[in-house]
Structure 1
């Protein structure tokens, strides 16, 4: 009797959702629906749906549907990110110092420079004390989707470089969320979350594989982190990082790989699109569009994502290659790296999340900041795609 491949797709739809282009298109479609709905005659129904409160108040879980999407569904997304990050750190492209040096440096440059430019452009503006963090993020799924679609002629090292810096960037974004947007910490809940995480780690060490054991622990950890005053999505990353990524002798797949294959379709096909549906519905009338280019916060976001990302990623890459033993990815010229670096400006999911967290007390600025994220991400994806197509044609001529 042959063994069933644990990590095999459970269906064709799941297999398609695991591909980067399809995941990016689903995310884009959800954002488009949100924008159309929020600017249609049924805009009132959109706002009413977003603001519908469900959940038990006794547990402090009487949240709106939009908050459930942000705090709940994105925890699944960040759990998958945590699994990817752990795998890359232990057995993947970030597992050795020499491998990690370039993408980590590129990610740091791609966070520091956008944040600095955002602060410079929006200095002194209301809300900028935390909104500077909005352009530090890169959306892995969207950026890799554009690369897969427009950069088919690029060598595989382009994807490895972008994946490495996007994973490191996500880790930085998670740290920013955990540090910047944690307030009024409940130490008892924090200790409970730590104990639950330790239990999860111990069960992983004991090779317990029953899903019905882990599911209550994951839900309880999420509840404890939420109650502790730390953003609930951090619980997803924490458990992802505690999941075992090396397969035992005789074990076909490690738990992290099994979980990633099983949960990726749910993350890409449901969790992230639903978040985008509730987060991306912004007004696009003349006055709203004018505000995107006149408000200091939105100007900082746009400059940070479009200029800061490519300058930071490419500049940090040049410095680390010049000053350390790190080398340019095999087969990539500096112009190729510039094209890939442009995709770092696709902030989208995490940038929208940080916008909602940083400007929660300034609703008059929040919609404008989210519109700036959408505009900058769309521009970065189109510009990056155009550069990748151009580089592909140049490569074709040179090898033809």
Structure 2
């Protein structure tokens, strides 16, 4: 069989056209937004204790629909998922100096939401197959100062929630589920994001469904729901008239989502199941087409959960391929296939390496509220660090609207590189 020369070495490029950009917005969302604009009611929130403290009709309708869809008592919309994380950390009653265990393999806001309340992020390592928090590493990082765990359901698959909730119960900890990337994923027949004390989803533009920017918090806890609503909407002004006695972290913000966004969200939510099934079908086709390539590990989906493939994550084992991940990545890029060879190792960001968040004196770490010298040196999360340095390759599934021909091109490009591994050595 003739082996085609790699584009990196002057051969023909496999992918010669851009893939179609993913766009989940249709005529339903256009009509919904138009209706709101014509009504003149673009927002109906009031930052005082009033019937409009909870927002306008579309906000409330979208929240009811989300609560019904995800099977929870309460859904609370916010203007971004970063705002949702900030609200969640405040709502669970975190004190300055408390430690919160978090994954390093996530978007930076998962950890900075902890710093927002002058608490201390402590990074636990990840599972090498799912990229989610490793429960054993979480347990090993618990100290007398630990008060909570933030779990990220990364790339589209739930973390090991039963194990993590058991650990949390044993140590009296609260759990926040950052399910930004995994709306619609199932864990033992329940939706990811609903198994923690509080969880939620991103509505940012490159997610399965979106409202441009936005987020949805979910919880079954009545008190937590109230505190989330208060932090969302100027809590300090509202608590007295509302009769709230627990003033801990009752510093509120304008984290409110508008009527247009919620009208769009109502229509988007109706499509979530279909979009998830489409990503899963694409992943199945990729799995079939890429099976058996030595040193390439395809996504691992645990048998008690589903994956919704915000990202199609792979790893490269250079000991099997004989070629570094960087060389393989360069060859794939030359073939016209855009893959990521990096994600995040948040603990290695300058903020943590220099322990500099607020002001110039290293607050909160270099202050009386910090109980100990928390270690952020490279080496504390060896699995996550190896993924970043040597192994990870990811394809952003929610960036594109792929058809069968597109998927075949992806498979062809990757298989072509693997057929030419010998030419990449040295």
TM-score (norm. length: structure 1): 0.29
More strand by share: 2
- Identify which of structures 1 and 2 has the higher relative contact order when contacts are C-alpha pairs closer than 8 Å and 6+ apart: 1
More helix by share: 1
